[in-house]
Structure 1
Amino acid sequence: MSFSPMELMICCAARELDDGKTVAVGTGLPCAAAMLAQRTHAPNLVIMFEAGGVAPQLPTMPVSVGDSTTFHRAVLATSMADVMQFCQRGMVDYTFLSGAQIDPFGNLNSTVIGPHAKPKVRLPGSGGANDLASFCWRTLIVMKHDAKKFVEKLDFLTTPGYLTGSGAREAAGLPLHTGPHRVITDLCVLDFVPDTKRMRVKSLHPGKTLDQVRAATGFALEACDPLGTTVEPNAEQLHILRTEVDPGRYILGRAG
């Protein structure tokens, strides 16, 4: 079956979510991935929304984190403060983030492009991203692969990845065994070298090449050996995505 880059990215993200775990999501691709995971291999996945919905049974794709559907048949309807507290207590296994820039160690910038005192572009800032990336066990980063986004040095460090490399998170006081887990783009899936915590290519999406990925990256990029090929979405996943998760094509209608 044919599929779009967006559908492939959603399926990649869904496969990272294990049954019986907890995931803090926003709307868009992260929510679609969590809904798909629940409807396939992870029926006991607990979804949390920043606005306070915990373990809802989502009937449709919510349009915001405060949409009433994020509280539909939920176990708990609480507040942002409580969801962040759950995160700080180590109760959240996964979160999804993105940003305007990412560096080789998975640090993110969502604050400014250019000098902080006089930026070219002022962005929304951290929101809850810093808390989530600091304390959730595994951070999944989803973004378009572009050399302007994948940079050697951030214009501003909004959200910590592995900071300067192995041991740096722990030295800064962040919990052991937390940090970026995967980076999912429209070209490939990336992970981090265990010893150095530097980003590398784990698998190429069908039809993509390592040269394409490296040309779209603003820093030197290693690859796993052997280098994998990303598993394509299957017919069941695509059917669920198109008919149950996002029949209105709010997300699927976007480019990858």
Structure 2
Amino acid sequence: MTATRAEVCVAACAEAFRGDGEILAGAMGGLVPSLGARLARATFEPDLVISDGQAYLVDAEQAVEGWLPYRAVLDLLASGRRHVMMGPVQIDAHGNANISCIGPWERPKRQLLGARGAPGNTVNHTTSYWIPRHAPRVLTPRVDLVCGIGYDRAASAGYAARFHEIRRVVTDLAVLDFAPAGPMAGDGGGGCGGVGCGGGVPRMRLASVHPGVTVDQVVEATGFELTVPGDVPTTPAPDPEALRILRDVLDPAGAREAEVPGG
């Protein structure tokens, strides 16, 4: 079975949760990251705790497993026991993200969600991002309003941002992570996973390109200079069992394809 681009993106979102264990997973950036969290739960992360986004805990097939009052979410959030995947309208090279408005905040051209929980999420626990349209106006040199903080601002915050980690940015073209700036950048290793983890403030790095996508395409579609290792791998497609679960159990209607067309 050959995976579509959308299915590769779902698998990449699932991989962002690998190793998390028994923490609360929140996927609020669209259908693809939601399917990713559920696929992770159904395959390699069985202890992952998933919320329906309202008041209940659910399994991979969205059957109710328990009750999760909002006060409990705040307790988990403040202790670092949560990993969310959000959908920014803008993100810069250090991971500062905007979900609030386009244009100056005093008189924006477009009003969006508002900052909502982004500041607390990025300060208090692991955050990843899903971007369904990789473009220079989204991956931009400067965001119009910082809602979720990036590695530069987290470094300035010191101990208050001790749980800060931007683990992955998954787009319709590629998977991106963050590597220390300076001599350590582009060494082909794993993501930074912490504030100022050696070699300077981490910057966004190209971790893999999706099947059929070239490095040049990703670079051209990014509005700032990416760190590009010498050898960029291809994003792995879901294995046959994961693909079966995704197609037959989690999303039999194929709604994922509408979020990443043309794959």
Secondary structure, aligned partner of 2:228? strand
1:59 maps onto 2:45 in alignment: no
Residue of structure 1 aligned with 2:93, choices 101, 104, 108 = 104
Which amino acid in structure 2 is aligned with residue 206 of structure 1?
A: P
Secondary structure, aligned partner of 2:123? helix
- Contact preservation (8 Å) 1:49, 1:83: no
Residue of structure 1 aligned with 2:34, choices 31, 35, 39 = 31
Which ranges in structure 1 are unaligned for 5 or more consecutive residues? Answer: 61-68
Deviation string 1:211-252 (CA, Å, 9 cap, x unpaired) is: 111110111111123322211222222211111011133334
| Matched residue, 1:139 | 127
| Matched residue, 2:249 | 244
Give percent identity, aligned residues only.
Answer: 30
| Matched residue, 2:10 | 10
| Per-residue deviation, 1:21 | 3.2
- Contact preservation (8 Å) 1:161, 1:180: yes
Q: TM-score scaled by structure 2?
A: 0.83
| Matched residue, 1:124 | 113
| Counterparts in 2 of 1:42 and 1:133: CA distance versus 1, 3 Å | same
Residue of structure 2 aligned with 1:186, choices 166, 169, 172 = 172
Secondary structure, aligned partner of 2:47? coil
| Matched residue, 1:227 | 232
- 2: CA distance between counterparts of 1:156 and 1:17? 27
| Matched residue, 1:64 | none
Secondary structure, aligned partner of 2:237? coil
Which amino acid in structure 1 is aligned with residue 68 of structure 2?
A: T
| Per-residue deviation, 1:114 | 0.7
Which amino acid in structure 1 is aligned with residue 31 of structure 2?
A: G
Q: Which deviates further from its counterpart, 104-113 or 119-128?
A: 119-128
- 2: CA distance between counterparts of 1:239 and 1:179? 32
- Contact preservation (8 Å) 1:101, 1:154: yes
- 2: CA distance between counterparts of 1:251 and 1:230? 18
| Counterparts in 2 of 1:248 and 1:42: CA distance versus 1, 3 Å | same
- 2: CA distance between counterparts of 1:130 and 1:29? 23
Residue of structure 1 aligned with 2:65, choices 56, 60, 73 = 73
Secondary structure, aligned partner of 1:37? helix
| Matched residue, 2:45 | 42
Secondary structure, aligned partner of 1:225? coil
- 1: CA distance between counterparts of 2:78 and 2:163? 14
- 1: CA distance between counterparts of 2:103 and 2:229? 33
- Contact preservation (8 Å) 1:145, 1:187: yes
Secondary structure, aligned partner of 1:228? coil
Which amino acid in structure 1 is aligned with residue 10 of structure 2?
A: I
| Matched residue, 2:195 | none
Deviation string 1:9-44 (CA, Å, 9 cap, x unpaired) is: 110111222352312233622221111112211122
Q: TM-score scaled by structure 1?
A: 0.85
- Contact preservation (8 Å) 2:96, 2:149: yes
Q: Which deviates further from its counterpart, 37-46 or 26-35?
A: 26-35
| Counterparts in 2 of 1:44 and 1:2: CA distance versus 1, 3 Å | same
| Counterparts in 2 of 1:99 and 1:37: CA distance versus 1, 3 Å | same
Q: Which deviates further from its counterpart, 9-18 or 151-160?
A: 9-18
- 2: CA distance between counterparts of 1:239 and 1:33? 14
Which ranges in structure 2 are unaligned for 5 or more consecutive residues? Answer: 181-198
Q: Which deviates further from its counterpart, 17-26 or 30-39?
A: 17-26
| Per-residue deviation, 1:58 | 4.3
| Matched residue, 2:186 | none
- 2: CA distance between counterparts of 1:228 and 1:58? 29
RMSD: 2.0
1:150 maps onto 2:152 in alignment: no
Q: Which deviates further from its counterpart, 154-163 or 15-24?
A: 15-24
| Per-residue deviation, 1:97 | 1.1
Q: Which deviates further from its counterpart, 154-163 or 225-234?
A: 225-234
Q: Report the number of matched residues.
A: 238
